[in-house]
Amino acid sequence: MNKRDIKLSGVGGQGILTIATVIGEAATAAGLQLKQAEVHGMSQRGGDVQSDLRLATDAICSDLIPLGQADLIISMEPMEALRYLPYLAPDGTVVTASHPFVNIPNYPEESALLAELDALPHVVRLDIDALARERQLPKSANMILLGMAAPFLGLLSEEQLRAAIARVFAAKGDAVVEANLQAFDLGLSHSQQTVSK
Amino acid sequence: MSEKRLLLGDEAVALGALHAGLSGVYAYPGTPSTEITEYIQRSPLARERGVRSRWCTNEKTAMEAALGMSYAGKRALVCMKHVGMNVCADAFVNSAVTGVKGGLVVLAADDPSMHSSQNEQDSRFYGKFAMVPIFEPSDQQEAYEMVAEAFALSEALRLPVLMRLVTRLAHSRAAVEVGEPQAQNALAPDDERTRWVLLPGNARRQYASLVAKQADIEAAAAKSRRNACKGGWNDKKPLGVIAAGIAYNYVRESAPAGLPVFKLSQYPLPAHQVQELAAHCASILVVEDGQPFVEEQVRGILDASYPVQGRLTGELPRMGELTPDCVAKALGQEGGPAFAAAHNLAPRPPQLCQGCGHRDVYAALNKVAAEYPDARIFGDIGCYTLGALPPFRAIDSCVDMGASITMAKGAADAGVHPAIAVIGDSTFTHSGMTGLLDAVNDGSAITVIISDNLTTAMTGGQDSAGTHKYEAICLALGVEREHLHVVVPLPKNMDEITRILREEIEYRGVSVIIPQRECMQTLGRKLRQKKAKEQ
């Protein structure tokens, strides 16, 4: 394996760019090549947002991921995970939050949406918002999601990701670093249990 | 030359300019160009060197101030989104006639596919129109390096250089190997008045000099190391590719081995290299983001019978940004989705934030407008353009910066009543003030709402040029005191706001209502910063 193409998605304000920042930090420290296309501007106002993150051991050409080639979709919202299915590789994995963020009148029916997700070959989903609330980590739901995605990131180890979390949040103090590491571990163990089933 | 930094294309330009000895950046915020100026504003090197970096009122004031800095011998950068080129076009085109002294780089960030824009105009046409060199980097590393090259060429030819980015380069991050900062230029104002005073006699001489420089800018592009022949050029091939700027990355993503590619990053288009590629290939595919700028020129260089493919012939889509997918298809490569589009999917358009003052403005407007079936509401450019979408569906137009006031005025002249304009604070100082003066001078029956959130919100909360000055500006332009109102857009004030709206609609002259309340985003940011400081 010499590349990982990752689609990050969610709704403006959910913190997908922080996930990208942590993966980017880990990849840079590991000496990997990286390109990350972000969306700024109008679409951040409660609309759908996405970012293309490409990691590789060799030079990366396009800033955008071609259709059918994403190894991983990481989404903070279940419908936003489905939005990028045409980009998913045949053996790709979807890692997503399962709780809908409903800010539009015509949001699809939740059970049908989750059924469509579950019909995909490789899916890990979890109500990360509920778990974050339960564990009193309200601001770290996105790091739970990153932990869930960690076993599928391939080019980066769990330890490299933990070290990157520590560096990215260092300026905010030890308590914030600790909360985010704890959230990461929660997500990681969820994925490990799901996959081993 | 060893340090690597993870930079957006915009940030690579900013750092490239700082390292090239920049003395001032002049810009008005606009997606996808905003992060260039923001990077310079945050840069410790810029602070240490006293690099001028405050936001300007609009792109024209930015361009002119940068020309003044260049006149004084120092290096200046002007940044804008593509439509900003329309605003500064007078100054830009004439800066090619005067020429420059200190290096002057004009950066336009184009937005093909209109992610955050009202059109997808291609800034390269402006460069050709003004007869200046155009640089179009293909990636973040080139963006960093080519800024220094642009400044050097600008000083060597005494011409401004246009640098063009597109959204996917401006807003994409990659590791960039950066070098050491060069010294800034010394103050050395130009003494050659005949260059700068464009009276017809001087202007004819200066224009002749610009025409004479065309051979030099063509020679510079022909020998530029940024323009390069890649792949197999030895034996005759069925297809060759010209890949401009970022298109080169998409071509590399899927090009079969040995495909002859002419990578193009500096203009004018070198005719000789196009002819050489044509001599080796039975046909040429032109891949470029934006409009068919190169494709049309290639048709002029080659025989009419030579097959040229691209956006004009349907191998690539006529509009919209390039993608690795459409380029792969044009190159005859297999690919495409493995999974079909999902069924349980709905569009999620952007919307005004909860608690935003614009929401209260539109709630009031809709309430009053419902009482006037002939009312027309002319909108403008900013977050409040989202008032066009549900649930408000409040505005009837949005064309260009400042057009709300002048279109309302013209419609009122034609007999539309009520004619209401909705414009944001930053857009008002950008291009609304002059139109308001026209309306005052004509006594037009319009109601202008300057929805003031104390910031340039759409682009992320940059300082707005007229904050705390709007009443004074309107009074000075001749708006009558009794028809100028400042209100606080909150649900509890709805009765007051709707009453004022009704009264001013009934007044057959210019009235201005300023709903004033800070943007929720900047307010939240300030509160978070305050909290962080206290901890």
- Quote the pLDDT of residue B1: 47
CA distance B134 to chain A (A): 22
Residue A197 has pLDDT above 60, yes or no: no
8 Å CB contact between B385 and B376: no
**Chain A window 25-54: which residues touch B at a Cβ cutoff of 8 Å?**
28, 33-48
Chain A residues within an 8 Å CB radius of B343: 112, 116
Per residue of chain B (535 residues), what is the pLDDT tens digit? 468 899 999 999 999 999 999 999 999 999 999 999 999 999 999 999 999 999 999 999 999 999 999 999 999 999 999 999 999 999 999 999 999 999 999 999 999 999 999 999 999 999 999 999 999 999 999 999 999 999 999 999 999 999 999 999 999 999 999 999 999 999 999 999 999 999 999 999 999 999 999 999 999 999 999 999 888 777 889 999 999 999 999 999 999 989 999 999 999 999 999 999 999 999 999 999 999 999 999 999 999 999 999 999 999 999 999 999 999 999 999 889 999 999 999 999 988 999 999 999 999 999 999 999 999 999 999 999 999 998 999 999 999 999 999 999 999 999 999 999 999 999 999 999 999 999 999 999 999 999 999 999 999 899 999 999 999 999 999 999 999 999 999 999 999 999 999 999 999 999 999 999 999 999 999 998 888 777 6
Name beta bridge partners: B78: B26, B106
CB contact under 8 A, B390 and A45: no
For residue B344, give the nearest of A123, A95, A51, A115 by alpha carbon. A115
Please state the domain extents for chain A.
3-196
Report the amino acid identity of residue B465.
A
Confidence (pLDDT) at A41: 62
What is the pLDDT, as a whole number, of residue A131?
96
**DSSP string covering B199-227:** -HHHHHHHHHHHHHHHHHHHHHHHT-TTS
The 10s digit of each residue's pLDDT in A16-68 is 999 999 999 999 999 999 999 987 766 567 899 999 999 999 999 999 999 99
pLDDT at residue A15, rounded to an integer: 85
Are B450 and B470 within 8 A, CB to CB?
Answer: yes
Question: What's chain A look like in SS3?
Answer: CCEEEEEEEEECCCCHHHHHHHHHHHHHHCCCEEEEECCCHHHHCCCEEEEEEEEECCCCCCCCCCCCCEEEEEECCHHHHHHCHHHEEEEEEEEEECCCCCCCCCCCCHHHHHHHHHCCCCEEEECHHHHHHHCCCCCCHHHHHHHHHHHHCCCCCHHHHHHHHHHHHHHHCHHHHHHHHHHHHHHHHHHHHHHHC
Which is nearest to B485 in space by CA: B260, B349, B475, B494?
B475
Token pair for B352: 């005004």
Q: Which residue matches tokens 């960030």?
A: B109
| Predicted local confidence at residue B368, as pLDDT | 97
Task: Give the model's pLDDT for residue A44.
Answer: 64
| A166 vs B: CB within 8 A | no
DSSP state of B73: T
Identify the burial level of B170 via C-beta atoms within 10 angstroms of its C-beta, where 0-12 means exposed, 13-18 middle and 19 or more buried. Answer: buried
Residues from chain A contacting residue B350 (CB–CB below 8 Å): 12, 42-47
Question: Which domains does chain B possess?
Answer: 4-222 (3.40.50.970), 228-330 (3.40.50.920), 357-522 (3.40.50.970)
Domain A3-196 of CATH type 1.20.5.50? no
Residue B339 to residue A85, Cβ atoms within 8 A: yes
Distance (Å) of CA A79 to CA A84, A89, A107, B271, B423: 9, 18, 9, 50, 34
pLDDT at A196: 62
Instruction: Using the predicted structure, report yes or no on whether residue A12 has a pLDDT greater than 90.
Output: no
The residues, ordered by sequence, that sit 6+ positions from B521 with a Cβ below 8 Å of its Cβ are: B353, B457, B460, B461
What is the Cα–Cα distance from A67 to B141, expressed in whole angstroms? Answer: 26
Give strand pairing partners of B266.
B135
Q: Which among B115, B174, B353 has CB closest to A41?
A: B115
The pLDDT value given to residue B235: 80
**What per-residue confidence (pLDDT) applies to B253?**
96
* Surface-to-core class of residue B503, CB atoms within 10 Å of its CB (0-12 exposed, 13-18 middle, 19+ buried): middle
Element (H, E) at B411: helix B403-414
Task: Please check the confidence at residue A1 and state whether its pLDDT lies above 70.
Answer: no
**Model confidence, pTM:** 0.96
> What confidence score (pLDDT) does residue B369 get?
96
Q: Considering CB atoms only, which of B250, B353, B390 is closest to A46? A: B353
Q: Give the tokens for residue B96.
A: 């090619």
Distances (CA, A) of B251 to A5, A25, B242: 18, 28, 9
In the numeric block, which tokens belong to residue B292? 């068919």
What tokens does B311 get? 């956006």
Selecting from B171, B254, B328 the residue whose C-beta is nearest the C-beta of A37 gives B171
Q: Which whole number is the average pLDDT over A147-170?
A: 97
State whether residue A119 sits within 8 Å of chain B by CB.
no
- Tell me the longest C-alpha to C-alpha distance in chain B: 80
Q: What is the pLDDT of residue B70?
A: 98
Nearest CA-CA distance, residue A45 and chain B, Å: 5
How do residues A83-109 score in pLDDT, each as one tens digit? 999 999 999 999 999 999 999 999 999
Answer yes or no: are the C-beta atoms of B284 and B308 closer than 8 Å: yes
Angstrom distance (rounded) from CA B397 to CA B378: 5
